[in-house]
Amino acid sequence: MSGGIDFATQFARLAADQQSEITLPTGGVDVRLVRVVGGVEGCWDSHNDSAETAIVWSGDFSVEFRDHILHLSAGQACIVPLGVEHKGSSINGAEMILFRQSPPKA
């Protein structure tokens, strides 16, 4: 992608197409836009290739680590460090913007 990203337009497109996520590769960084269903808890996960920055675009989102939980609302963000186990959930649903280093091309 060589231009800017209009998050509002992309989230509206996801909603209209009833899709949960899209990944937009941009110059070595993968930008994932994710619509999170309320009341659904994610699975434990970790990333051994890159840290991940998570920004709440709308709604509420909680990031659970093994030793604490971060509760985030629209406009708030957190960074999940390299290799740290975490899982996410949302009470009412959320739209998330996630940034990770793109994996190397094969």
> pLDDT per residue over 57-77, tens digit each?
999 999 999 999 999 999 999
Averaged over 25-51, what is the pLDDT? 91
Phi-psi region of 28 (alpha: psi -120 to 50; beta: other; left: phi over 0): left
Query: In the predicted model, what is the mean pLDDT of residues 16-29?
Result: 90
Choose between 72 and 5: higher pLDDT.
72
Checking if the pLDDT of 102 tops 90, the result is no
Main-chain dihedrals φ then ψ at residue 102, nearest 5 degrees: -65, 140
Alpha carbons 59 and 28: distance in angstroms, whole number: 28
Is 48's pLDDT higher than 70? Answer: yes
Domains defined for the chain, CATH in brackets: 22-101 (2.60.120.10)
C-alpha distances in angstroms, 58 versus 26, 45, 49, 64, 93?
22, 23, 27, 19, 8
Which pTM value belongs to this model?
0.89
Judge whether residue 104 has pLDDT over 80: no
Residue 27, pLDDT score:
83
SS3 8: helix
- Average confidence (pLDDT) over 38-57: 94
Dist. CA 102–CA 40, nearest whole Å: 27
- Report residue 103's pLDDT band, with 50, 70 and 90 as the boundaries: confident
